[in-house]
Amino acid sequence: MLASPLLAPLTTIPNIRANLLSGVVVGTIALPLSIALAVAVGVSPVSGLYTAVFAGAVAAIFGGSRYNVTGPTAALVPVLNHAVISHGADALPALALLSGAILLVLAALRAGRLVRYIPGTVVVGFTAGIALSIAFGQLNNLLGVTGTDPSLETFHERLFDTVAQLGTAGAVTPALAAATVLLLVAWPRLPRVRAVPGPLVAVVGMTAAVALLDLDVATVESRYGAIPQSLPRPSAAFLDAGLFIDLLPLAFSVAVLAGIESLLSAVVADGMSGSLERHEPDRELRGQGLGNLAVAFFGGVPATAAIARTAAGIRHGASSRLSAVVHSVTVLIATLLLGGVAGRVPMAALAGILVVVAWNIAEAPEVARLLRKASRADAVVLAGTAAITLLFDLTYAIGFGVLASMALLLRQLVRLPAARELLPDDTGRIREVSPELAGLIRSRPDIAFFSAEGVLSFHSVATMEYQLLHLFGADGRPLILRMKDVDHIDASGLLTLEGVIEHHQRCGGRIILTAIQPAVHLSLERFGILDLLGPGNVFQHTRCAIAAIDNDRILASSTAAAG
């Protein structure tokens, strides 16, 4: 059953070979990154490796994208690090289980398409905040600072603690970190060797330098112990109802961020692939949920799709899920064969890798361009989201960004007229209607003509009420309200329209509705507004409404004369 989705759309031996090769390349890239990201979270490097193996394979098989590569990512580092500080490293499997379950619920609720409604400034803002958090979180490893308090949680406390312990920094560790950063920056500019992953070259090179020069620096093994060279045994020892309750807010943050990151990665992959086939967002959430459920029982950390690794796979020929599965197998084989060597990697090299990763995900040029050229309101949302992500919590940052963007949008919507009087412009034209109807409207100053527009909802009905009651007034003229451009009306709109109609009827005026869209017509009928108006005050065409007014006047005159 799994063979078909795993191998589709492979049809030829060259396609299979290309996916196998791309999987090996991405696995080679993922190996040092998985170690570095686990270290950034504050857990054993093998946890990052197991995450790439188990979450990567399960999400690849069951996800909604043919290209997404799943594993530990920089986007989750701040939240996971907070969980480790607050609840200990043993809390991460529980967090993976909870966030996986939430992702499955989101998939069942078909929430995958909602990610497109998260404003771009919010995504850029919290990504920049995450990048800053990762970079500053590596200061101790970059400088070789010792004696800091690992229990400190907030950004400013940890920064002040590092500054207070700067006297413990040496020269060798910063030199190794600087050499790592320079190598990673320069490596892609070397055309003959750039096919070899830069992070792998940096890890091998710095590890060899430490061994050959016998440098006294912190290594993975000295900090976290030896990396096991065996498969983990499934364990459910983390199951604890009390811990689950404590972790629930964090789990929601992880699930939301994992969903956003994975779906953004899938969108990027669709664009890079050149294929007409697109990812299935709800299935992708389900795949990420199952991946996190699986990794919880194998000592990993919460995972999500990695945009950089996904893009690397496509650039090296990935066209099916087979590539991502081979990536996981590659990491597994490397863990079993090279776990002992990986323990000798200097922490400074991993810190250098993470600084470059942070720079890449921050998209600094894009942030600078938005701050310079976007509106002041959008710049405030971006900067505020980044600052809250760095100083407080990712959940608050996303909440602030979305609510602030909604408030700014609502502010703009309120300024748009919900109803406007149909009056000729300087050229004598009425742009909202046809020339024939415009001529008819101009010939009838005894009737007030208004056009309602857009969505009649809580954000617009106050303006509509003001225009129809105060601007038009109750001067005795009949009012024709054209509803052709109204696509939706909610309860607030219905109540306001009902109040306007009742006011005019009390004042002896008459309101006629014309050109009502079918969905809006159904809402008006169900709410009783059509009954309130009466059948003689609802018409499909405005000219019919004008004719009805004339006929009623003729009838009224005849009745008066006969009386």
The pLDDT value recorded for residue 561 is 66
The pLDDT value recorded for residue 194 is 64
Q: What is the pLDDT of residues 528-559, one digit of tens each?
A: 999 999 888 999 988 899 888 888 787 777 77
Q: Sign of the CA dihedral 315, 320, 326, 327?
A: positive
Count Cβ atoms within 10 A of the Cβ of residue 15 and give its class: 0-12 exposed, 13-18 middle, 19 or more buried. middle
What confidence category does residue 3 fall into, taking pLDDT thresholds of 50, 70 and 90?
Answer: very low
- B/e letters for 146-163, b = 16+ CB within 10 Å, e = fewer, are eebeeeeeebeebeebbe
CB distance 317 to 195 below 8 Å: no
* pLDDT at residue 413 tops 90: no
Q: Phi and psi of 145, rounded to 5°?
A: -75, 135
Closest by CA position to 82, among listed 400, 307, 294, 395: 395
* pLDDT at residue 11 tops 60: no
CB distance 525 to 535 below 8 Å: no
**Cα 97–102–105 angle (5° rounding)?**
130
Architecture of domain 419-562: 2-Layer Sandwich (3.30)
Q: Phi and psi of 480, rounded to 5°?
A: -105, 120
Q: What is the pLDDT of residues 456-484, one digit of tens each?
A: 888 888 888 877 876 555 567 888 999 99
The pLDDT value recorded for residue 523 is 93
Q: What is the pLDDT of residues 383-397, one digit of tens each?
A: 998 898 888 876 777
* pLDDT at residue 136 tops 80: yes
Count Cβ atoms within 10 A of the Cβ of residue 307 and give its class: 0-12 exposed, 13-18 middle, 19 or more buried. buried
Residue 313 structure tokens: 């796979």
Residue 132 structure tokens: 């800053």
With H, G, I as helix, E, B as strand and everything else as coil, classify residue 509.
coil
What confidence category does residue 297 fall into, taking pLDDT thresholds of 50, 70 and 90?
Answer: very high
CA 138 – CA 77 distance, rounded (Å): 12
The pLDDT value recorded for residue 471 is 56
In 351-442, the DSSP E strands lie at: 419-421
* pLDDT at residue 7 tops 60: no
C-alpha distances (whole Å) from 40 to each of 240, 305, 338, 348 are 25, 18, 21, 12
The pLDDT value recorded for residue 2 is 41
Count Cβ atoms within 10 A of the Cβ of residue 320 and give its class: 0-12 exposed, 13-18 middle, 19 or more buried. buried
Total count of residues recorded for the chain: 563
Percent of the chain with pLDDT over 90: 29
Which residue ranges does the chain devote to CATH 3.30.750.24?
419-562
What confidence category does residue 29 fall into, taking pLDDT thresholds of 50, 70 and 90?
Answer: confident
CB distance 55 to 94 below 8 Å: no
- Tell me the pTM: 0.71
* pLDDT at residue 275 tops 80: no
Element (H, E) at 227: none
* pLDDT at residue 289 tops 70: yes
What confidence category does residue 1 fall into, taking pLDDT thresholds of 50, 70 and 90?
Answer: very low
Percent of the chain with pLDDT over 70: 93
CA 435 – CA 438 distance, rounded (Å): 5
Q: pLDDT averaged over the chain?
A: 86
Residues 6+ apart with CB under 8 A from 28: 197, 200, 330, 334
- Indicate the range of 80-94, 205-219, 441-455, 520-534 predicted with least confidence: 441-455
Q: What is the pLDDT of residues 350-391, one digit of tens each?
A: 888 888 888 887 878 888 898 888 888 889 999 998 898 888
The pLDDT value recorded for residue 150 is 76
